[in-house]
């Protein structure tokens, strides 16, 4: 099976190569265990709402030995943190536009 070059290498060889170098350094030189690294990437991909990335990193986490329960918990922790940051932002907006006394 032939590996295709990523689309960005066709458009910008110098920057695309630098990106791949960065990616390879993360994978090859990380102090984090592969399972931990993949679970972090599941959380980040989920927050950034990239379905392809989330699916890719869920597969990567499973391949690295993560259980379905660990992946589910990662997604739940991500949802919790997302809700907390949303509430903090909403409080700022409420205070800014309705005044501090409105809380």
101: DSSP letter? G
Decide if 45 is inside a domain: yes
Instruction: Choose among 22, 73, 87, 19: nearest CA to 43.
Output: 73
Q: How many domains does the chain have?
A: 1
Which helix (H) or strand (E) segment holds residue 69: the answer is helix 68-98
Look at residue 24 and tell me if it is in a domain: no
Question: Cα(first)–Cα(last) distance of the chain, in Å?
Answer: 60
Full residue range of the structural domain in which residue 47 is found:
32-102
Q: What is residue 43's three-state secondary structure?
A: helix
What is the domain-level CATH number for residue 64? Answer: 1.20.1290.10
- Per-residue pLDDT tens over the stretch 25-73: 998 999 999 999 999 999 999 999 999 999 999 999 999 999 999 999 9
Does 56 fall in a domain? Answer: yes
Residue 60 resides in a domain: yes
pTM for this one? Answer: 0.78
């Amino acid at each position: 099976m032939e590996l295709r070059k990523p689309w960005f290498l066709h458009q910008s060889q110098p920057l695309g190569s630098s990106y791949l170098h960065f990616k390879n350094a993360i994978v090859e030189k990380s102090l984090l265990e592969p399972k931990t690294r993949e679970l972090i990437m599941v959380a980040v991909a989920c927050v950034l709402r990239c379905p392809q990335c989330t699916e890719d990193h869920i597969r990567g986490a499973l391949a690295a030995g993560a259980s379905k329960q660990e992946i589910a918990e990662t997604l739940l922790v991500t949802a919790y943190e997302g809700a907390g940051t949303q509430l903090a932002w909403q409080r700022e907006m409420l205070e800014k536009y309705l005044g501090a006394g409105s809380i």
